[in-house]
Structure 1
Amino acid sequence: MPSPLTIPNELRQNHTPLEDVQGLSIALLTASVGLVFLTHLGFLTGQTAGLALIIAYVTGWDFGPVFFLVNLPFYALAWKRLGAEFTLKSMLCVTILSVTVDYMPLGLSFDYLNPVLGTAIFGVLTGYGLLGVFRHKGSLGGLGVIALLIQDRTGFRAGYVQLIVDAMLFAVAFFLFDTRTVGYSLFGALILNGVIAFNHRRDRYIAD
């Protein structure tokens, strides 16, 4: 018997192109602001963005190009398993986020940012940004694609999948960065993935 909170299939509606544009725009802006908070503090995050940040910090390269390149191998998997619409939207979202995070600091700067507050804001904003991207049949690429595949196939929450992957990523980060950096970064990742784990429920969505 379906949950009383489940939306019956006959009541589900697809998003219009205009709804997708506004929804993805808001989601990407929100996620980008969160990442700017994090990168200003010099902290890390999990998933593909975390891998890109580690490469960027170690090499001195800009986050945007690294993030874009790291995601390329996952598009073939997304196209095969999740379809053309999901893959194309994901590619667009990754491209926009890559550019936005690099250029947003030109109009957004901080005289002082408390690391606890900044990391918490990152987790909430980027978590809700990711939810918005997922909601409109997209992703920010990479390991998020695998997390969504596992949730769709097994029912195991995408947020929990990402927490497991993040734990492995941060284990590696302990050998590259100081304990303070990794500790704050893990705090932000817990908030972000908690937002996704508690709120990403496709059976509650009206639109599909």
Structure 2
Amino acid sequence: MTDSNDSASGVIEPEFPEPRPHSLLEDAYGLLTGALLLSVGLVLMKASGIVTAGMGGVALLFSYLVGGAVDFWFWVLNIPFLVLAWSAMGREFFIKTVCAVTATAMLAALTRLSLDISSIHPAFAAVAGGTAAGAGVMAMLRHRSGVGGVTILSVWLNRKKGWSVGWLSFVLDGIIISVAVLTRPPELAAWSLLSVVAMSTVLIAFHRPGRYTGY
């Protein structure tokens, strides 16, 4: 239905159907797909020695500096942020985030054990791994889930202030890259910056309020 101004100008606004919530099965598949994409991205970047955005990047840094698998650190370091997801984002977001973080940690371990990467150029790992990780985060956000501390904080600020998830993530990830510059070889630190750009660009381009119908 259009108002008088629309009728007078001859412009007819299209009518869209009401958004339909995802089913439980669709949510499960979406979160699993996102976790798999993020896991593959993390394993590619781990094999090349670079760092990336979000808690995945923090987990990679810990795996280089302290030792241990990236999947282990991804799970452990996310635990404090799950408290924020519970207290600030609600029960549904909390449950989905716990599932997403757990699935990512488990699938990253499975991917690590399933792939034997003898050599990978950090430029390819930055672009392909960063894009895959960004697509994974995107899938999880579309199903109302966080995927780690940076994303949880960004989504919370997006809902409270309306700020862009992509730009918030980009700024917060700058802190992570700053640490990478101080602790990783200069060349790997530079490729790490490219991975952040690749990952964040996916969110900046596609995570825009009102662009999509549905959840």
TM-score by length of 1: 0.90
The count of residues paired between Structure 1 and Structure 2 equals: 204
Counterpart in 2 of 1:99? 106
Residues 6 and 84 of structure 1, relative CA distance in 2, 3 Å threshold: farther
Compute the displacement of 1:106 (Å): 2.4
Structure 1's unaligned 5+ residue stretches are: none
Instruction: Trace 1:197-208 onto structure 2 (pairs within 5 A).
Output: 197-208=204-215
Bigger Rg, which one: 2
1:114 partner amino acid: H
1:169 partner amino acid: I
The partner residue of 1:36 within 35, 38, 43 is: 43
| CA RMSD after TM alignment | 2.1
Compute the displacement of 1:6 (Å): 11
Query: 30-39 vs 100-109, which deviates more?
Result: 100-109
2:160 partner amino acid: R
Matched, 1:19 2:26: yes
Compute the displacement of 1:111 (Å): 4.3
**Secondary structure of the corresponding residue to residue 183 of structure 2:** coil
Matched, 1:163 2:161: no
Structure 2's unaligned 5+ residue stretches are: 1-12
The question of whether the paired residues in 2 share the 8 Å contact of 1:7 and 1:205 is answered with: no
Using the alignment, how far apart are the partners of 1:85 and 1:122 within structure 2? 29
Query: 103-112 vs 44-53, which deviates more?
Result: 103-112
Q: After superposition, what is the alpha-carbon deviation per residue over 1:20-52, rounded to whole angstroms, capped at 9, x for unaligned?
A: 111112111111111111111111112222112
The partner residue of 1:62 within 58, 69, 75 is: 69
Runs of 4 or more consecutive aligned structure 1 residues displaced over 6 Å after TM superposition: 5-8
The question of whether the paired residues in 1 share the 8 Å contact of 2:54 and 2:148 is answered with: no
Q: Percent same amino acid at aligned positions?
A: 27
